[in-house]
């Protein structure tokens, strides 16, 4: 009985830990995001506020004159490209899937007005700075939301910035798929009868040896 109780307690503890771990996962969706030139950004990503990690990134931007459309399935983390976010929960840097050479490719920086948490909600994107003609100043202040075409393989400095004029991200708890019960194979009635006939001689022999 003690072993059974211990096993039950362990199962409840593991289940509680799993629920806590999953609770940190929130899917954030770009909503009404528009660039100053009229282009748009859309898509979503999953953020774990407990570990400051991203997953399931699927974001796309429309093109405009001089700026092609782009898609993002990765993040810049200082290892796969030179740019690194000082605050991953608030300043997001998205990159294309292949970051082996970013020359001529686009990255997307999204500066939120507050940090993302595991409770989700709606967070507005910071509007462009008052003087976008001074990119070196805005980079230093980190109040920016833009896409840029990388001038070199690691995107060590931003190119011309295409600022985001408005928009927000909306976070909702990521739904965890319900566990599917594994069906236990059962024998048909005739199968049970046959099994009984096969086991009967063994039971008789065992009983005879005990006499």
Neighbours of 84 (CB within 10 A): 14
* In 5-77, beta strands by DSSP E: 25-35, 40-48, 53-61, 70-72, 74-75
Per the domain annotation, does 179 fall within a domain? no
Give me the domain span that covers residue 130: 25-173
| Whole-angstrom distance, CA of residue 82 vs CA of residue 94 | 12
Per the domain annotation, does 97 fall within a domain? yes
Per the domain annotation, does 151 fall within a domain? yes
Amino acid 209: pLDDT? 55
Per the domain annotation, does 9 fall within a domain? no
Q: What is the mean pLDDT of residues 10-32?
A: 64
Per the domain annotation, does 211 fall within a domain? no
Global pTM value:
0.70
Residue of higher predicted confidence among 151 and 185: 151
Per the domain annotation, does 82 fall within a domain? yes
| Whole-angstrom distance, CA of residue 132 vs CA of residue 86 | 21
Instruction: Count structural domains, the chain.
Output: 1
Closest CA to 92 of 70, 107, 80, 71: 107
- 47, 59 Cβ separation under 8 angstroms: no
Length of the chain, in residues: 211
What is the SS3 assignment for 59?
strand
Amino acid 33: pLDDT? 97
Residue 24 scores a pLDDT above 80? no
Q: How does the average pLDDT of the chain come out, rounded?
A: 79
Per the domain annotation, does 116 fall within a domain? yes
Per the domain annotation, does 126 fall within a domain? yes
Residue of higher predicted confidence among 104 and 84: 104
Percent of the chain with pLDDT over 90: 57
- 169, 31 Cβ separation under 8 angstroms: yes
């Amino acid at each position: 009985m003690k072993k059974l109780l211990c096993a039950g307690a362990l199962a409840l503890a593991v289940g509680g830990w799993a629920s806590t771990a999953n609770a940190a996962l929130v899917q954030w969706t770009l909503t009404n995001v528009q660039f100053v030139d009229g282009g748009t950004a859309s898509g979503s990503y999953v953020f774990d506020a407990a570990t400051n990690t991203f997953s399931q990134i699927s974001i796309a931007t429309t093109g405009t004159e001089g700026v092609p459309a782009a898609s993002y399935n990765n993040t810049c983390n200082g290892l796969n490209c030179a740019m690194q976010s000082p605050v991953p929960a608030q300043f997001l840097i998205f990159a294309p899937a292949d970051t082996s050479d970013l020359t001529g490719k686009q990255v997307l920086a999204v500066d939120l007005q507050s940090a993302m948490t595991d409770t989700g909600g709606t967070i507005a994107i910071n509007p462009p700075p008052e003087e976008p003609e001074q990119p070196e100043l805005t980079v230093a202040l980190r109040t920016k939301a833009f896409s840029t075409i990388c001038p070199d393989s690691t995107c060590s400095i931003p190119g011309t910035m295409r600022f985001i004029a408005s928009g927000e991200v909306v976070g909702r708890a990521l739904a965890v798929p319900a566990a599917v019960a594994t069906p236990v194979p059962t024998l048909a009635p005739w199968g049970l009868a046959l099994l009984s006939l096969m086991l009967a001689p063994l039971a008789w022999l065992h009983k005879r040896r005990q006499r």
